[in-house]
Amino acid sequence: MGMEHLSEVLKILDGALKANASMASNYAGLLADKLEQEGQRAQARMVRERLARAPMALAMAQDASRGVSLGKLPADNDSRLNTVDVSLPSVEAMHLVLPDAISERLDDFVRGVRHHDQLASAGVAIPNRILIYGLPGTGKTQTARWIAATLGLPLLTTRCDTLVSSLLGQTSRNLRQVFDYAQQTPCVLFLDEFDALAGARGNERDVGELQRVVIALLQNIDALPDSTVLVAATNHEQLLDPAIWRRFATHIPMPLPDEAMREALFSRCLGGFIAPDVDLRSVAVLADGATGALIEQVCMDAKRNAILSGSNTVQRLELYRRLGLALALQMGERLSTKEQEVRWLRRWAESEFSLRALSALYGTTVHAMSRIIKGDVQDGQKTKTKQRKPAQRPET
Ligand SMILES: Nc1ncnc2c1ncn2[C@@H]1O[C@H](COP(=O)(O)OP(=O)(O)O)[C@@H](O)[C@H]1O
Ligand SMILES: [Mg+2]
pLDDT tens, position by position, 160-213: 988 888 777 888 899 999 999 998 888 999 999 998 887 754 455 566 777 888
Residue 234 CB less than 6 A away from ligand 1: no
Domain boundaries, the chain: 1-69, 70-254, 259-387
Per CATH, the architecture of 70-254 is what? 3-Layer(aba) Sandwich (3.40)
pLDDT digits 0-9 by tens, 89-133: 998 888 899 999 999 999 999 999 999 989 989 999 989 999 999
- How does residue 304 score in pLDDT terms, banded at 50, 70 and 90? very high
Question: How far does CA 137 lie from the centroid of its chain?
Answer: 8
Looking at residue 144, what is its pLDDT?
Answer: 97
Rounded Cα distance, 372 and 354, in Å: 13
What's the rounded Cα separation, in Å, for the pair 394 and 396? Answer: 6
Q: Considering only CA atoms, which residue is closest to atom 27 of ligand 1? A: 142
Pick the closest to residue 102 from 137, 150, 143 (CA basis).
Answer: 143
263 alpha carbon to ligand 1 midpoint, in Å?
15
For ligand 1, whether the C-beta of 8 sits within 6 Å is: no
Do the Cβ atoms of 184 and 71 come closer than 8 Å? yes
Instruction: Name which residue leads in pLDDT, 257 or 393.
Output: 257
Rounded CA gap, 56 and 13, in Å? 21
- Answer yes or no: is the C-beta of 89 below 6 A from any ligand 1 atom: no
Q: 256: CA distance to ligand 2 center in Å?
A: 14
Kindly give the pairing relationship between strand 129-134 and strand 188-192: unpaired
Summarize pLDDT for 254-302 with one digit per residue, the tens.
999 999 999 999 999 999 999 888 999 999 999 999 999 999 999 999 9
Of the ligands numbered here, which is closest to the C-alpha atom of 132? 1
Distance CA 259, CA 357 (A): 25
- What confidence tier does 381 reach under pLDDT thresholds 50, 70, 90? low
- Whether 139 is in the pocket of ligand 1, judged by its Cβ within 6 Å, is yes
Nearest CA to ligand 1 atom 17: 139
Q: Which residues pair with 314 in a beta bridge?
A: 274
Decide which of 282 and 71 is more confident.
282
Instruction: Using the mean position of ligand 1's atoms as its centre, give its distance from the Cα of residue 142 in Å.
Output: 5
CA of 233 to the centre of ligand 2 (A): 7
Q: Which of the four pLDDT bands, split at 50, 70 and 90, describes residue 53?
A: confident
Q: Which ligand is nearest to the CA of 95?
A: 1
What pLDDT is stored for residue 69 in this prediction?
55
141 alpha carbon to ligand 2 midpoint, in Å?
4
Phi/psi zone of residue 380: left (φ > 0), alpha (ψ -120 to 50 degrees), beta? left
* CATH fold group of domain 259-387: Helicase, Ruva Protein; domain 3 (1.10.8)
Report how far ligand 2's centroid is from the alpha carbon of 356 (Å).
41
Which of 142, 145, 300 is the best mutation target for the ligand 1 pocket, counting ligand atoms within 8 Å of the beta carbon and taking the most?
142
Tell which atom from ligand 1 comes closest to the C-alpha of 144.
17
Measured from the Cα of 134, ligand 1's closest atom is 22
User: Is the shortest distance between the CB of 95 and ligand 1 below 6 Å?
Assistant: yes
Q: Does the Cβ of 98 fall within 6 Å of ligand 1?
A: yes
Cβ count within 10 A of residue 41 = 10
CA distances 321 to 124, 167, 233, 264, Å, are 53, 48, 32, 20
Is the pLDDT at 16 greater than 90? The verdict is no
Question: Relative to the alpha carbon of 255, which ligand is closest?
Answer: 1
From the list 330, 329, 333, 319, the residue with the least C-alpha distance to 361 is 319
Mean pLDDT of 302-325: 93
Listed in sequence order, the residues at least 6 apart from 389 whose beta carbon sits closer than 8 Å to its beta carbon are none
Q: Higher confidence at residue 383 or residue 140?
A: 140
CA–CA distance, 159 with 112 (Å, rounded to integer): 26
Burial category of 297 from C-beta neighbours within 10 Å (exposed 0-12, middle 13-18, buried 19 and up): middle
Average pLDDT of the segment spanning 45-66: 63
Cβ(140) to ligand 1 under 6 A?
yes
Mutation to probe ligand 1, out of 296, 298, 299 (largest number of atoms < 8 A from CB): 296
Higher pLDDT, 2 or 146: 146
**Does residue 324 have its Cβ closer than 6 Å to ligand 1?**
no
Residue 148 has pLDDT above 90, yes or no: yes
- 187 and 71 Cβ atoms separated by less than 8 Å: no
Spatial contact of 299 and 269, defined as CB atoms under 8 Å apart:
yes
To the nearest 10 degrees (0 to 180), the angle between helices 355-362 and 316-330 is: 90
- What ligand 1 atom has the least distance to the C-alpha of 233? 21
